[in-house]
Amino acid sequence: MAGSFWRYPAVAVAVVLAAPVAHAEDAAPDRQPTGSIQRGPSGLPLPRFVSLKSGRVNVRTGPGINYSVEWLYLKSGLPMEILQEYDNWRRVRDSEGAEGWVNQSLLSGKRTALVAPWQKGKDIHINLLRDPDKNAPVVAMLEPGVIGKIKSCNGKWCEATFDGHTGWISQVLIWGAYPDEQVSE
C-alpha cells in the first residue's frame, strides 16, 4: 500500500563489507516493455517515469479536485510512473503498485530511481560502481529502497547519484527506468 511512503526514510547509503550483495541475476519484477511507443494527449510517451516535485502530494481517486484524496505522499523526488493523462491530471503508479490521480503541476520530468524496492527489508546491499562494468570498483553500497537522481542510462546501466555518491548501477536493479531504456539529462 502506498501508505508506507508517508514516513519515507531519508536516503541511506551504507558502506558495508560483509553484507550480501544483490546482483542483476536476482530477479527483478517484470516491468513495462519498451516495444511500441504509445503517446498521451500531451504528446509524451505513455507509460513514462517522472518524479514528485513537491513534498506533499495528494493522490486522488479520479482526475479532478472534486475526487476524494486517497492518500498523501510526503517525499519529494519519489519516482512515479505515468500510466494515463486526462487534461492536467496524470494517473500514476508507485513502486508498490498503488495507483491514483495527481495534478501535473506536482510532477517533475527529472528522473529519479529507487534501488531494488522489491528487496526492501532484506539484509542485502547493492553496489554502486565507478564504471558501467560489474567488475568496476565499488563507490558505495546501497540499501534497497534508497532514492537517487538518474543522470543517464544506456539500456543496461544507469549513472546516478545517491546521497552525494555518483556511480553506475545495473538498470535492472532500479525502479525508475525501463529495461533497455535510454535516458539522458
Residue count of the chain: 185
Domain boundaries, the chain: 9-28+113-184, 45-110
Paired residues of 49 in beta bridges: 81
Cα 39 from Cα 126, distance rounded (Å): 34
Is 45-110 in the same CATH topology as 9-28+113-184? yes
* CB-CB contact of 52 with 93 (8 Å): no
Helices (H) and strands (E) in the chain, counts: 0, 18
21-64: pLDDT as tens digits: 444 444 444 455 445 689 988 989 999 999 999 999 999 999 99
Instruction: Look at residue 171 and tell me whether its pLDDT is greater than 50.
Output: yes
CATH 3.40.50.300 fits 9-28+113-184, yes or no: no
Predicted TM-score (pTM) of the model is 0.81
Please provide the CATH number assigned to the domain covering 45-110. Answer: 2.30.30.40
Question: 47: which DSSP letter?
Answer: S
Cα 39 from Cα 94, distance rounded (Å): 20
Between β-strands 165-170 and 107-108, what pairing exists: parallel, antiparallel or unpaired? unpaired
